[in-house]
A and B are shown apart, each in its own frame.
Chain A
C-alpha cells in the first residue's frame, strides 16, 4: 500500500471540502439506490459508494475553468465532484425535463458543458478516445488545460484504451488516464482477465509514466493526480494512474454480487474512504465529531432538496423528442 500523505500539510478548508464532497456523494447514492427501489428511477443505475475518494481526490487536483473531465456510466459521483447541481443530477435520474441532460440521458449520461464535464458514457471504453480527442484540442489550441479520463478495470482491455494511449504518447497529449480499479468488471474479478494484474504498468508500453494510487485514500489520489496534472500541463505529457478501490454495491442495481464473499466486502469496508480521512483529521486535531456531523447533515439536507426538486419537476413534453437530434 502507498505511503499515506500527512493531513497536517493541507489547509483545513481543503480537507473539509473533500469530506463534504465524499459525504454528499455517499448520501446522494444511498438515496438514488433507495429511489431506484421505489421505481422512481429506471434503467441501469450504477452506484459509486466506496469509490468516493477517487473522483473527489482527482477532481480536486484540477481547475475546471480550463480542465476537462470525462467518465463512464458510473458517473453520479464524478458529476457531483465537478460541482454539478445535485438537483439537476437527481432530476436526470428521475427523467424530468429539469435534468442536466433534459431527460434524454439518465443515469449513465450525465453532462454539464459549463463545468467542462463531457460525460457520462454507456459503452465500456468508448470515452477513452473521446477524452484523448479533448486533449488534442487543448494541444492544438495551445491551451493550458488537462483532461481527466476515468474508466474501470474492465475498460482497460478495450482496443480503444490501447489505441488512445499510443496516440497520446506519440502526440504528447495532456491527458491523465485514471483507471478506477474497483476489482470487478460486472461479475469478473479483474485478475481473471488481465494478463498484467498491475494495471498501471501498461503505461510502460506507451512510454508514459504509470503510477499506483490508493483509491480509498482521497489524499493519495489527489497527490498522484496532481503530479500527473502538473506534468501534463508543463510538458504536455500523458500519464496512467491505477487507483485501487472497491464498490460496496453490486455492479448495478440488478446485480446481487454473488461472485464475492461477505467477508471480502466487510474487509474492504474497513478501508472506508470517508472514515479514513475523518480519522486522520480527528487525530491531527483538525476535525471534531460535531463538525463531521454537521457536514454529513448538510449533505443529507442537500440530497433531500434534490429529491424534492426532482419529484416536483415536470415530465418533458412529447414534442421534445424531436429536439436535440441535430443542431
Chain B
C-alpha cells in the first residue's frame, strides 16, 4: 500500500469524486489559484478550472449559503472553511438552512453538501484561532458530522461524505495534514456512522475522535509498557454515533476514559459519557473519566496552551485512575 499524507489523501478523494461526478465542485477561500491554505486542493484548479474549483472572497456566511443553494438546486458542493474558527460566522446558514431545509420542506429537498476544514487547537494562535468546535455541529439534528484521524479514514470518509445526500461536516486538523499513513490504490469508502477499533485491548476503553486519537494511541502504548491493556476506539463519526461499538467495548473492559478536545461543559465527550453511564451502568467497575480541554479560552503562550489540552500524560493518569492504580 502507498504511504501518503493526510492532505494528499483528501486531495485524492476530491480528485476521484470530481472525476466520477461532474456535479461535484469545490469552493472556498484560496482553494483554487493558491492551491488551498493547507494545500489540500493542490493541482485541482489546474485540472478542473475556474468552473469547478472556485476562489471566493472572505465571506464565510455568504459562500456557505451559496453552497447550500447550489446543493438544493442539484449540485454537490464541497465547501472548504479555511479553519472551523471562521465557520462560526456561517452558523446561521449551517444550522438554519443546511440542516433544516430537508425537514422544513417535508422531505422535498435534499442538501448534498460537504463542509470541511481544519478544526481544533493548532499552535501559538491564541483563542480565536485555536478551538475545538465539534460539539457545536454535533448538536444539530439534520447534519452528519465526521472526523478522520488517519489518511486512510480521511480519504474514505470524504468520499462517503461527497456521495451522501445530507449535509456532512467533516473535521480535519491543521496538525494532521502532514501525518502519513497507508492508503490503498483501489477505490474504497469508509462508511459514515461506523467507529473503528484503532487498537484492541481488554482492561480499559479509551474513546476519542480526530486528532487526539493519536494521543490516545500513544497513551495506550505507554500503558502497555506498564502491563496494562487498553482498547482505543476512534468514533470517526459523531453523528450518527456508533453507540454499539462504545457499549460493546466497555462491556468487555468495564472501564472507560473519553478524550475530547472540546471544552468540558455540554461537550460531545460529556454526551458519550452519558451514553456509557446509561448503557453500561451494571458493568462499570469505576466512574467514567473525561479528558477535555481545560475550561478556558486558549492562551497564546506555548506552555500554557499545552497545559490546556488533552495530553498523553493526562490520558495515562485517567486510565490508571479508573484502574485504581493512581488517584
Task: Tell whether, in the assembled complex, residue A321 and residue B307 are in contact, meaning their CB atoms are under 8 Å apart.
Answer: yes
**Any chain B CB within 8 A of the CB of A209?**
no
Q: Contact partner of B59 among A43, A158, A321, CB < 8 A?
A: A158
| Residues of the B chain whose Cβ atoms lie less than 8 Å from the Cβ of A44 | 125, 129
| Residues of the A chain whose Cβ atoms lie less than 8 Å from the Cβ of B303 | 315-316, 318
The 4 lowest CB-CB distance pairs between A and B, nearest first, are A42-B124, A43-B124, A106-B300, A187-B34
Q: Contact partner of A108 among B57, B126, B299, CB < 8 A?
A: B126
Task: Tell whether, in the assembled complex, residue B29 and residue A109 are in contact, meaning their CB atoms are under 8 Å apart.
Answer: no
Task: Tell whether, in the assembled complex, residue B128 and residue A109 are in contact, meaning their CB atoms are under 8 Å apart.
Answer: yes
Task: Tell whether, in the assembled complex, residue A123 and residue B85 are in contact, meaning their CB atoms are under 8 Å apart.
Answer: yes
Residue of B whose beta carbon sits closest to that of A320:
B304
| Residues of the B chain whose Cβ atoms lie less than 8 Å from the Cβ of A108 | 125-126, 128-129
Task: Tell whether, in the assembled complex, residue A123 and residue B123 are in contact, meaning their CB atoms are under 8 Å apart.
Answer: no
| Residues of the A chain whose Cβ atoms lie less than 8 Å from the Cβ of B128 | 108-109, 121-123
User: Which residue, of A92, A104, A194, has the highest number of chain B Cβ atoms within 10 A?
Assistant: A104
Residue of A whose beta carbon sits closest to that of B308:
A321
| Residues of the A chain whose Cβ atoms lie less than 8 Å from the Cβ of B19 | none
**Any chain B CB within 8 A of the CB of A38?**
no
**Any chain B CB within 8 A of the CB of A95?**
yes
| Residues of the A chain whose Cβ atoms lie less than 8 Å from the Cβ of B85 | 122-123
* B251-274 Cβ-contact flags toward A at 8 Å (1 or 0): 000000000000000000000000
Q: Complex formed: what's the CA distance from A188 to B127 in Å?
A: 26
**Any chain A CB within 8 A of the CB of B86?**
yes
Binding site for B on A (CB under 8 A): 42-44, 92, 95-96, 101, 103-106, 108-109, 121-126, 154-155, 157-159, 185-188, 192-194, 259, 315-316, 318, 320-322, 325
Binding site for A on B (CB under 8 A): 29-30, 33-34, 37, 55-59, 61-62, 85-86, 89, 123-129, 294, 296-297, 299-304, 307-308
Task: Tell whether, in the assembled complex, residue A325 and residue B300 are in contact, meaning their CB atoms are under 8 Å apart.
Answer: no
Task: Tell whether, in the assembled complex, residue A157 and residue B57 are in contact, meaning their CB atoms are under 8 Å apart.
Answer: yes
Q: Contact partner of A103 among B30, B57, B301, B308, CB < 8 A?
A: B301
| Residues of the B chain whose Cβ atoms lie less than 8 Å from the Cβ of A316 | 299, 301, 303-304
| Residues of the A chain whose Cβ atoms lie less than 8 Å from the Cβ of B294 | 321
Given contacts A95-B302, A105-B300, A186-B34, contact A159 B62 (CB under 8 A): yes
Number of A-B contacts (CB under 8 A): 110
Nearest-Cβ distance from residue A89 to partner chain B, whole angstroms: 13
Q: Complex formed: what's the CA distance from A21 to B138 in Å?
A: 49
Q: Complex formed: what's the CA distance from A321 to B127 in Å?
A: 12
| Residues of the B chain whose Cβ atoms lie less than 8 Å from the Cβ of A194 | 57
Given contacts A159-B59, A322-B296, contact A186 B29 (CB under 8 A): yes
Given contacts A43-B126, A159-B61, A194-B57, contact A188 B30 (CB under 8 A): yes
Task: Tell whether, in the assembled complex, residue B30 and residue A43 are in contact, meaning their CB atoms are under 8 Å apart.
Answer: no
Nearest-Cβ distance from residue B56 to partner chain A, whole angstroms: 7
Residue of A whose beta carbon sits closest to that of B37:
A186
| Residues of the B chain whose Cβ atoms lie less than 8 Å from the Cβ of A109 | 126, 128, 300
Nearest-Cβ distance from residue B211 to partner chain A, whole angstroms: 18
| Residues of the A chain whose Cβ atoms lie less than 8 Å from the Cβ of B123 | 42-43
Q: Complex formed: what's the CA distance from A104 to B294 in Å?
A: 15
| Residues of the A chain whose Cβ atoms lie less than 8 Å from the Cβ of B299 | 103-104, 316, 320-321
24 A-B pairs with CB atoms under 8 Å apart are A43-B124, A43-B125, A43-B300, A92-B300, A95-B301, A101-B300, A103-B301, A104-B297, A104-B300, A106-B300, A122-B128, A126-B89, A155-B58, A157-B57, A158-B89, A186-B29, A188-B29, A188-B33, A192-B55, A193-B55, A193-B57, A194-B57, A320-B304, A321-B294
Residue of B whose beta carbon sits closest to that of A315:
B303
Q: Complex formed: what's the CA distance from A124 to B33 in Å?
A: 20
Nearest-Cβ distance from residue B261 to partner chain A, whole angstroms: 16
Nearest-Cβ distance from residue B293 to partner chain A, whole angstroms: 11
Q: Complex formed: what's the CA distance from A105 to B125 in Å?
A: 8
| Residues of the A chain whose Cβ atoms lie less than 8 Å from the Cβ of B34 | 186-188, 259
Q: Complex formed: what's the CA distance from A123 to B304 in Å?
A: 22
Residue of A whose beta carbon sits closest to that of B36:
A187
Nearest-Cβ distance from residue A215 to partner chain B, whole angstroms: 20
Nearest-Cβ distance from residue A95 to partner chain B, whole angstroms: 4
Q: Complex formed: what's the CA distance from A42 to B304 in Å?
A: 13
- A104-B127, A318-B304, A325-B296 given; 5 more Cβ-contact pairs under 8 Å: A104-B301, A154-B57, A318-B303, A318-B307, A321-B307
